[in-house]
Structure 1
């Protein structure tokens, strides 16, 4: 059986972690799979795990990866932090989700950006295949690394998908009330799913919510996702909430289980994703699957994901974000239309077809 070594160190993270978790079961079926990472994090998978202790981006990870990656037909890094040193593998694959770290939205310092560029360039040059999850990110790769115009055949666009667990369910009113009490939330709330990195525009969302809550004082903003331990984070949020008098109006849940997230999608007025920059945008697909209306930024990758199934706002205009939220709150017919369109849009991102596309691409690579 063909041996595939997969770097799974980031499995506990939100976006990339979900990407890794979605691929491992399919790779298990088709290859002799070896995972790199923390044995405790990967214990649920019945495969060989090679412990790698150094975290992603740490310069010393390069030496550890060089020593520990065994002979294999394929080595796959699901991010751009690929090994710089030679490996005992026949083919190398990388997934580049976005080029965010090189954009003006990134807050990396000069040396961090220099190292990120080195890793991106190395990933593009050394990989036999570069997977990316949107046509937008493919265009960004070519924009920041023009030499890839001659190697465009190496870039394979395969989108992400919502896991099967995300689907429309029926919940009783008592179950809804009991569940929301856990988060000290009323019946009406707006949902945000994502981290608090600056490009996610969480501060812009809070500023816009300030205007909305004046008209609807019972409304709350529920923010789900990782909010700490980033290289570059947005750590002035607490001060902003205090300044705006929103400390009891904005709830940060931290990372929660998928079952809890499904309920939050179901009970929310709508999901909002006001990002300045994205490589893809998975939360809208999860919201579509759960019958939750969606507001997103009018930026190319989110247009690519959401089509006509979302309400679009200008992420650079706090007023426009506020107006968009107010319109959806007050217009139940619009919310119903978006829900219907969301279910239709979701069909484009079929899990089985997407996973099979990965397997076919890997098999073609080895021929």
Structure 2
């Protein structure tokens, strides 16, 4: 069993969305009350509330956040591994130390492969990092943890030599809504969109929303939650004449997320590409029906907790939204099925699978 694990934990210094939330929840499960020493590296200071989540034999090495995060992490990782012969290294930010000791074992969590799968929808900076940092890390890793069977399949497809080094993790998610019973259909209001990156297909969703009956839009505004919301969303809404029905929620808190998961009618998530689809998992845990595209990783755990749209076109997406807005019986069936599907989703299962795959049991 490994005695010491050095971790690239830089994602914990940023808002807890997307892979930042995944990294925190996975680490919380791995660290637990085990006997291993955990050395967490972050190029920027980590908030006290996040640090308090990680109990046990944990040490922190932090930078001031002023320099380049990748450069700082590479240097700190090499230094800490050299101080601890035989330690393992866990990469939580799509990176491994290029010049780390050969004797160390290297583990990498793979969230997505968008730089290979959809380069045309990947930001230039992420595309460059994908080929210069993430790809070499995949080649170097002794063990790859894919956050879903879909990512595992993509690794095997594009990098066949990773087959014996890859383990797929079950879906994880945070139960943000704590009320014992979901809010009834009659008291629900609004459609929810989470994320505004180009691959989230916000333009298609706005087109579908504009195609809804006027009375449906009047009762159900479209809430958009994202770390930052591009101007394109507002421009498209104005061009379609639905800006009055749009509710923008940049950098929403967990409390705001809880309110929207608990009060909206449905999560609409027509993303072109996902590694897991964490918002869909969290919607199911809240008993909130979700509308997702076919041939996506979300269909593996959605069950009957929503509607699968394929092919993904405006009329089909609008029809699914209209159905959940007007058919109370269908909505209730989806909500019950969402809660059932949510029973198979949780960070405990993710932690157990990761510990088993890494030999930390």
TM-score normalised by L of structure 1: 0.83
Inter-CA distance 8–331: structure 2 relative to 1 (3 Å threshold): same
Cα pair 1:35 1:48 within 8 Å, conserved: yes
| Candidates 90, 100, 103, aligned match of 2:104 | 90
CA deviation vs aligned residue, 1:294-338 (integer Å, no higher than 9, x gap): 111112312113133320113641111111101111111111111
- The aligned counterpart of 2:88 is 74
The runs of 5 or more residues in structure 2 that have no matched partner are: none
Alignment partner of 1:4 is 2:10: no
- The aligned counterpart of 1:177 is none
Q: Structure 1 CA distance, aligned partners of 2:359 and 2:314?
A: 48
Q: How many residues align?
A: 343
Cα pair 1:71 1:88 within 8 Å, conserved: no
- The aligned counterpart of 1:196 is 196
Inter-CA distance 94–55: structure 2 relative to 1 (3 Å threshold): farther
The runs of 5 or more residues in structure 1 that have no matched partner are: 174-185, 229-233
Counterparts of residues 139-288 of structure 1 (less than 5 Å): 139-146=153-160, 148=161, 151-169=162-180, 188-193=189-194, 195-212=195-212, 214-218=214-218, 219-227=220-228, 235-288=231-284
Q: Structure 2 CA distance, aligned partners of 1:7 and 1:316?
A: 37
Q: 241-250 or 84-93, which moves further after superposition?
A: 84-93
What secondary structure, in the 3-state scheme, does the structure 2 residue paired with 1:345 have? helix
Cα pair 1:224 1:255 within 8 Å, conserved: yes
CA deviation vs aligned residue, 1:167-211 (integer Å, no higher than 9, x gap): 4435899xxxxxxxxxxxx96211122x21111101111111111
CA deviation vs aligned residue, 1:265-317 (integer Å, no higher than 9, x gap): 11111111111111111112211221211111112312113133320113641
Alignment partner of 1:15 is 2:21: no
Cα pair 2:91 2:107 within 8 Å, conserved: yes
Q: For residue 121 of structure 1, report the CA deviation from its aligned partner.
A: 2.8
Q: Structure 2 CA distance, aligned partners of 1:109 and 1:334?
A: 38
CA deviation vs aligned residue, 1:47-92 (integer Å, no higher than 9, x gap): 3211144455x56653454345554421101232222222476211
Q: Structure 2 CA distance, aligned partners of 1:19 and 1:288?
A: 17
Alignment partner of 1:99 is 2:113: yes
Q: For residue 15 of structure 1, report the CA deviation from its aligned partner.
A: 1.2
TM-score normalised by L of structure 2: 0.85
Cα pair 2:289 2:338 within 8 Å, conserved: yes
- The aligned counterpart of 1:298 is 294
Q: Structure 1 CA distance, aligned partners of 2:235 and 2:175?
A: 39
Q: Structure 1 CA distance, aligned partners of 2:205 and 2:260?
A: 18
Cα pair 1:35 1:49 within 8 Å, conserved: yes
Q: Structure 1 CA distance, aligned partners of 2:252 and 2:294?
A: 28
Cα pair 1:134 1:304 within 8 Å, conserved: no
Q: Structure 2 CA distance, aligned partners of 1:70 and 1:240?
A: 53
- The aligned counterpart of 2:45 is 39
| Candidates 51, 54, 62, aligned match of 2:74 | 62
Q: Structure 2 CA distance, aligned partners of 1:22 and 1:315?
A: 34
Cα pair 1:210 1:244 within 8 Å, conserved: yes
Q: For residue 357 of structure 1, report the CA deviation from its aligned partner.
A: 2.0
| Candidates 327, 334, 338, aligned match of 1:331 | 327
Q: Structure 2 CA distance, aligned partners of 1:171 and 1:276?
A: 29
Cα pair 1:190 1:220 within 8 Å, conserved: yes
Cα pair 1:161 1:350 within 8 Å, conserved: yes
Q: Structure 1 CA distance, aligned partners of 2:151 and 2:96?
A: 18
